[in-house]
Amino acid sequence: MRNDINLMSFGRVPPQDIEIEKAVIGAIMLERDSFELVMEILPTPECFYSDAHQKIYKSCCILYNTGNVVDLLTVTDQLTKDGSIDTVGGAYALTTLTQAVNSTAHIQDHARIVMEKYMWRELIRISMENITTAYNASEDVFETIENLEHKIRNISDGIVTDDLQPISSIYQELLFDIETQDTNKTDLTGVETGYVELNSVTNGWQSSELIILAARPSQGKTALALNFAVNAKAKTLFFSLEASSKALVKRIAACKNNIPFKAIRSGILNDFQKSILNHAIADFNRLPLKIDDKTQTLSGIMKSCRREKKRNPDLGLIIIDYLQLIKTTKEKNGNREQEVGNISRSLKLLASELEVPIIALAQLNRAVEQTANKKPSLSNLRESGSLEQDANIVIFIWHEETGKNSDNTPIVKTQLLIEKNRDGECKPIELKFNGDIQRWINAEDFDQAKTASFITNQYQRTPYKNDIDEDTPF
């Protein structure tokens, strides 16, 4: 048995169970098919505490990987070839291990105990390493914390679960989902987007998907993301890396109450508008939306999402505004494109882990401004082609000037361009954006929404400078 000084803490022996290890090793050599079951739980020889058991298990791995049978005779032969047979106690010791096993029925349970002891030892080792680092205080504290979290998560990732599902059980789940949709009389399988055509193309925001919403600055990305959050009818977590939470709530208040954003931002409102805002408190209390404007790092965002999912298992949507502002501890290397790629892959894995759709806003590069109609394409995604690769859906905002009004003001057609849709159709969707109240509206509902906004703004209205023309669509 090894005497691992690095794991000794105040004279205590690290967690281990030699008798269970013997039972596992003996069962492997006694029953030919048992090694495959154990290997899924114990991936490396280091999972064993005893040096002898590590060497025996290493020989088993060599035999298995070379296509040979794993039993008492082949393991003895392999240890002899490696020159390790004497260090494990000789052929007699191997025979003794197999004779001590009455049954291999509980080999997986025993292997999990061995894995659990190994994880405890690893936790002790990592903790002691970080105690030394903390006392030295010579490294960046946030980078140290992130590295510690990464190491601890690697330990937990060592727990092997049976994620393989027979197709029959998946098919049964499909039938159940179809029956549920038919009962509820809805064709949405995901989170409500709030827009008829977008729902028809996506069937709602689907769990485990990464959706990229991209545009040049000042095109209405944040307003659209907030509209998605309000329309979701599900618990939503909104990360804002650019605007404060109060600034976002002002936009939501304008949108939900048909009050000009400029009026709310300036505080110059008439009595009717103030009354509307006061009566809207109940609506805001019921809105299942949380905003985080403090977290700026990738590790912080991932930690907050995991914590929120644990607190609220029915978390339905995560929105991040915006992706290129996320900080990582590796930015000092200077390759921002690789960093953005790492961020997008991490968000994709997070969406899959939490089974929650993630909408990440992104900037387009300046090349789109050089085109004749300024129509964005996938090549315009700024800083990384990984965004296109990792995303399930990529949506662009495009304001196309189609002509001039009689007063020479531009006539603008606004579309969401679905340029990538892994599980559905790619097509343009026409929406209207009323920038006055920060609301994105179904094209067919725009006239009705403008009428409601006009009434709210005109009733006992207090004029203010630079009023927005009601005929301007955005």
What is the pLDDT at residue 227?
93
Residues 200 and 148 placed together within one structural domain of the fold: no
242 is annotated as an active-site residue: yes
Of 133, 156, 179, which closes a domain?
156
Residues 141 and 270 in one domain: no
- Regarding whether 120 and 240 lie in a shared domain, the answer is no
Distance CA 474, CA 471 (A): 9
Where does a domain end: 140, 156, 172? 156
Q: Are residues 400 and 252 in the same domain?
A: yes
Nearest to 323 by CA among 438, 213, 209: 213
Which of 79, 61, 80 minimizes the C-alpha distance to 70? Answer: 61
In sequence order, the 6+-apart residues with CB closer than 8 A to the CB of 469 are none
Residue 280 is classified by DSSP as T
β-pairing, 358-363 with 210-215? Answer: parallel
End residue of a domain, out of 113, 139, 156: 156
pLDDT digits (tens), the chain, 474 positions: 454 545 555 567 889 999 999 999 988 888 877 888 888 888 889 999 999 999 999 999 898 888 888 888 998 999 999 888 988 888 888 888 888 777 777 888 899 999 999 989 988 888 888 888 888 887 777 777 877 877 877 776 655 445 556 777 777 877 877 777 666 666 678 889 889 889 888 889 999 999 999 888 888 899 999 999 999 988 999 999 988 888 998 898 888 888 888 888 888 888 888 888 888 888 888 888 999 988 888 888 888 898 889 888 999 999 998 888 888 765 555 577 778 888 888 899 899 989 999 999 988 877 777 776 778 878 777 666 677 788 889 999 888 877 787 777 778 788 888 988 888 888 888 888 888 888 888 877 765 555 455 444 544 343 333 333 333 333
Residues 205 and 313 in one domain: yes
Is residue 296 one of the residues assigned to a domain? yes
| 287 close to 175: Cβ distance less than 8 angstroms | no
Tell me the CB-side half-sphere exposure of residue 140, using CA atoms within 13 A. Answer: 8
Closest by CA to 417, choosing from 427, 404, 408, is 427
- Asked, for residue 290, whether it belongs to a domain, the answer is yes
pLDDT for position 183: 67
- 450 and 343, same structural domain? yes
Could you tell me which of 245, 206, 214 has the C-alpha nearest to residue 358? 206
Q: Is there a single domain that holds both residue 132 and residue 207?
A: no
Report if residue 180 sits inside a domain. no
Q: Give all strands of the β-sheet with 428-434 in edge-to-edge order.
A: 289-292, 235-240, 315-321, 358-363, 210-215, 393-404, 410-421, 428-434, 439-442
Which CATH number fits the domain that encloses residue 145? 1.10.860.10
Structural domain count, the chain: 2
String of DSSP letters for 435-474 = TTTTEEEEGGGHHHHHHHHHHHHHTT----TTPPPTT---
| Domain of residue 85, residue span | 5-156
Residues 237 and 144 in one domain: no
| DSSP β-bridge partners for residue 235 | 315
**In terms of domains, do 303 and 447 share one?**
yes
- Is 164 a domain residue? no
The radius of gyration of the chain from alpha carbons, rounded to an integer in Å, stands at: 30
* Residue of 242, 369, 430, 444 marked active site: 242
Per the CB < 8 A criterion, the answer to whether 68 and 74 are in contact is: yes
Distance CA 448, CA 138 (A): 63
Assess if residue 470 is contained within a domain: no
Separation CA 19–CA 25 (nearest Å): 10
| Element (DSSP H or E) covering residue 150 | helix 141-156
pTM of the predicted protein model? 0.64
Burial (CB count <10 Å: 0-12, 13-18, 19+), residue 98: middle
Considering the domain boundaries, does residue 168 fall inside one?
A: no
Q: With respect to residue 270, please indicate whether it lies within any of the assigned structural domains.
A: yes
**Residue 178 located in a structural domain:** no
CA distances from 320 to 23, 30, 237, 366 (A): 50, 54, 9, 22
410 φ, ψ (degrees, to nearest 5): -70, 145
**Rounded distance, CA 80 to CA 82, Å?**
5
Look at residue 387 in the predicted model and tell me its pLDDT: 79
Q: Are residues 131 and 263 in the same domain?
A: no
Nearest partner of 29 among 94, 105, 115, judged by Cα:
94
CATH number of the CATH domain containing 347: 3.40.50.300
One domain, residues 297 and 397:
yes
Q: Do both 381 and 323 map to the same domain?
A: yes
